[in-house]
Chain A
Amino acid sequence: MTNPFLEAQASLFEGAVSCRQLAEEYLDRIESGNPALNAFVHTDPAATLDAAERVDARLAEGERPPLAGLMLGVKDVICQAGQPVQCASRMLEGFESLIDSTALAALINAGAVVVGRTNCDEFAMGSSNENSVFGRARNPVDHDLVPGGSSGGSAAAVAAGLCHVALGSDTGGSIRQPAAFCGVAGLKPTYGRVSRFGLVAYASSFDSIGPFAAGLGDLAAVLQVLAGHDPQDNTSADVPVPDFGGALTGSVEGLRVGLPKEYFDPSLDPEIAGPVQESVDRLQEAGAVPVEISLPHTRYGIAAYYVLTTAEASSNLARYDGARYGHRAENPTDLQDLYVRSRTEGFGTEVKRRIMLGTYVLSSGYYDAYYAKAQRVRTLIRGDFDAAFKEVDLIATPATPGPAFRAGSHADDPLSMYLSDIYTVTANLAGIPGLVVPAGETPKGLPVGIQLLGPAFSEAELLRAGSVCWPPTHVSA
């Protein structure tokens, strides 16, 4: 494991390099490396260099901002005042945000420099980063493969070393699945741990901002600043923030690790099962105790997830109507025509599919059969985890049912794409944190990830175990 940010920061604090030099270096990397990957969709070199110089000025004043030297990628669904936020959609072409995401502002305040905005599925809806108005992002391991989604650009950018750390958002696995596909670490924090203010909403009760990093030291340093209560987000939790870096001790002695039998089904792809088992073995060798557990309602997770998230999405995306900002159809004949054509032209197929589905499940006469029932499933899934965490400290699962797939391979079958989230959606349904770290590789050399789930606000414990799961020879970027 390497921690490119912490290494860069050490050089910066030694005076061996300036923040501006770091920024120049990373802008160069993006310029040369990005065309093949399409991981970044927007850069503003002048703003990046200005920001880097402000950090240098703080250093000259004797300050040591905790994230000084951090070269940060930001998913195109996170707002920064004065910068575009397009959500990889035609709908928001040319839209510039007036607000700062609380989470991003905290990182910038702590010395981070934004090097660019990263590609993603439109409005964070997708598992392959193919649903993007900017075109698909590519997996650095093999450009014919998807990087995963929806935060595919962020995962690819970190894996390719185009930035130290990137922010993503995770509604059903959108950080963890691309982290697994690209062989980097990705954390979906506990719901409420990181403010959602300034994150363009997909499904409000599921969305979390979280980091991608090449090493857990880098990830812990960024999480330290991301975490915290925000009065501007009513769902943000006012709970203490522990020392995340301090949890990376390598000690897991006596840690009880649950292995849910529903996730280790005999049909699990052996290419995935093998590296995941090796990671679990590393935990066991270090003193952790594997325990077989059951999460009986797992099989209802995907259905409940797609009912509830599309319901919320249909509501959250109602504001994009062409009336005030964003894409507006030309020469509308009346209000109805303005709405219908602006939304038809502005949204891509997957977004429209989910709006339709969500509108349907909230409709009068269908609400109880779909939305209300899915909420009950959500409660049951939460209950599964509550019961499990009475027996075990953490749960380990495969991150994905298979490795990164070829672009276009799910194009005609959205449902098969939805099923690629099968191991990740439950954490969002339950609001618990999930960390994906590299577990190893398939025989063909494709990254495989292991997912660690813990009780609410147990990110430090996930990091502690994650550092032990990490294959000793794996270098992410």
Chain B
Amino acid sequence: MSWEAVIGLEVHCQLQTESKAFSPDSARFGAGPNRHVDPISLGHPGTLPVLNERVVHYTLRMGLATECSIAPRSVLARKHYFYPDLPKGYQISQYETPICSDGRIVVTIDQGPDEGTQHEIGITRIHIEEDAGKSIHDQDPTASLLDYNRCGVPLIEIVSEPDLRTPRQAYLYLRRIRQLVRYLGICDGNMEEGSLRCDANISIRPVGQTTLGTKTEVKNMNSFRNVERALEHEIARQTALLEAGGEVVQETLLWDVDKGRTRSMRSKEEAHDYRYFPDPDLCPIVVTEAMLDETRGQLPELPEARVNRYTTAWGIPEYNASVLTEERATADYFEAVVGHLTDPAGAVIASNVIMTDGLRVAGERGIEFDAFPLEAKRLAGLVDLRAKDKLSSTAFQQLFEVMLDDGREAGTLAAEMNLLQESDASSLVPYVDEVFAAHPGHVEQYRSGKTGVIGFFIGQVMRKYPGSPDPKLVRELFVERLTSNETPDSE
């Protein structure tokens, strides 16, 4: 029997706000333990939450970018469970009325028989909630340690429809979410640091069956690659179970990255009763048309729109365009370079150098393009020289590397390093004439069909000329002369 997996993802994104979701303490990552806390986020008696408005604006950005319906009025609810890193004994979340619902995300399948086709994944809902603190169990032999810095940091939870069929689709969907939240400037999308987290609901069924099988929930997949691996493992596990005549048990599983397998965390019977009810401390979130208009105005141009523009306006190959738009900072940088070009024809050169050498350098140095050492304007100067054939491709490469750590302009450095190539025919003609006249034998050879000797002529000029002539141009001049009826003797 052949099986089909049905996968839905719940993705949590930490919003990059200055302060927490319901209190004024800092929401920044990376401070010492329990430095970003206050009586409100610690749930001290008498404290009250007040919703950070920026959280709503950020959530609306994601909702609009994924074509969700936006609820004009949505309610914050309390989700109860006891755990030491949850100071109030409940998490403020949304339950019956999420702020965004019924949206979609489209991914392009990048491998297998459907490569290149588009796959749409429905977004069930996006809702606002607060993060819990962090329990640390491996630092002390007898005690668990608690860090409340993360407590109250705003999150959005993005719940997909069970529209994913393969681990790869899940991977692509998750990458797409990461790309979107980064474009929107609402989350840094870092899975390793936990600012983007993913849980999966997964079941399998015989191909052709429309009802769903029993699902499991897989947690603790803390990288994009691990999501793919964990889902592959879980599909294999469920398939083996069913093929052996067994049954899938509804349970929550943890992905053990070291052992490369899932293990049970809790069964359905142990599932919490969260006792949701509307939080009486918080008024409903009201979203007005004016707020939506404002948010629409703040939405950046999204990747697919940019790909479109790059290919149609600047003739950038589609592949280049999609690489350049993967990260907003890269695309912004590319556009800044193009904006500084004296001739937009250099855009293709710019796209090539950024997507190859630029990305390599950014990777090596662990930086984003907003901090790229070769500023857009200087790179544009370099590209301009290459576009006007003032630089050989080797010289272009060489200057690119130098300019990363030398803040001077391309023209200055090229002149100093004697890399400018002559591309003015009039200054080259006397040298071409001289070589042509001095080597009648070679002229004869060429004309009798041994056209390879043109390299000899070019070499002669390159050696005699005091600067760096453009070899292409020298070749053209010789071809013109050699295919004419002129003879060296006639000079």
Q: Which residues on A are within 8 Å of B, measured CB to CB?
A: 78-79, 85, 87, 92, 95, 97-99, 101, 196-201, 203-205, 231-235, 311-312, 314-315, 317-319, 321, 323-325, 335, 339, 359, 362-364, 367, 371
Contacts and interface: CB of A to CB of B under 8 A. Distances in A.
B47 A362 contact: no
B313 to A, nearest CB: 48
Given A87-B45, A321-B82, A324-B42, 12 more contacts: A101-B46, A200-B45, A233-B48, A235-B281, A235-B283, A315-B89, A315-B275, A318-B88, A324-B87, A362-B275, A363-B273, A367-B275
Contacts of B276: 362
8 contacts: A234-B48, A234-B50, A235-B282, A314-B275, A319-B45, A321-B84, A362-B276, A371-B277
A197 B48 contact: yes
B46 A201 contact: yes
Contacts of A98: 39, 44
A97 B44 contact: yes
Nearest to A200: B45
Interface in B47-105: 47-51, 78, 80, 82, 84, 87-90
B213 interface: no
A363 B281 contact: no
Contacts of B282: 234-235
B89 A319 contact: yes
Contacts, number: 93
B142 to A, nearest CB: 12
Contacts of A196: 48
B88 A319 contact: yes
A25 B385 CA distance: 91
Interface of B: 39, 42-51, 78, 80, 82, 84, 87-90, 146, 273, 275-277, 280-283
Contact of B45 (A97, A234, A364): A97
Contacts of B84: 321, 323-324, 335
Given A319-B88, A319-B89, A99 B47 contact: yes
Contacts of A324: 42, 84, 87
Given A234-B51, A318-B82, A359 B46 contact: no
The 5 closest A-B pairs by CB, nearest first: A318-B89, A205-B280, A204-B280, A362-B275, A79-B46
Contacts of A339: 82
B266 to A, nearest CB: 14
A142 B282 CA distance: 43
A168 B88 CA distance: 24
What is the predominant secondary structure among interface residues of chain A facing chain B? loop
B89 A234 contact: no
A362 B42 CA distance: 24
B277 A311 contact: yes
A205 B44 CA distance: 18
Given A204-B280, A312-B280, A315-B277, A99 B46 contact: yes
Contacts of A321: 82, 84, 89
Contacts of A359: 275
B49 A197 contact: no
Contacts of B49: 234
A359 to B, nearest CB: 7
A200 B281 CA distance: 12
B90 A362 contact: no
Nearest to B85: A323
Contacts of B88: 318-319
A235 B281 CA distance: 6
A97 B46 contact: yes
B275 A79 contact: no
B274 to A, nearest CB: 8
A232 B50 contact: yes
Given A79-B46, A234-B49, A318 B283 contact: no
A78 B47 CA distance: 11
B46 A85 contact: yes
Given A234-B50, A235-B283, A319-B88, A99 B44 contact: yes
A199 B46 contact: yes
Contacts of A323: 84, 146
Given A196-B48, A199-B46, A233-B48, A363 B275 contact: yes
Nearest to A343: B82
A161 B80 CA distance: 44
A310 to B, nearest CB: 12
B275 A364 contact: yes
A101 B283 CA distance: 20
A87 B50 CA distance: 24
Question: Which of B39, B49, B51 gathers the greatest number of chain A CB atoms within 10 Å?
Answer: B39
Nearest to B148: A324
Nearest to B271: A364
Contacts of A231: 50
Nearest to B277: A362
A97 B39 CA distance: 9
B217 to A, nearest CB: 18
Nearest to B42: A324
Contact of B80 (A97, A201, A315, A367): A315
Contacts of A367: 275, 277
B45 A318 contact: no
A198 B45 CA distance: 7
Contact of B47 (A87, A197, A371): A197
Contacts of B48: 196-197, 232-234
Contacts of A101: 46
A350 B39 CA distance: 27
Contacts of B277: 311, 315, 362, 367, 371
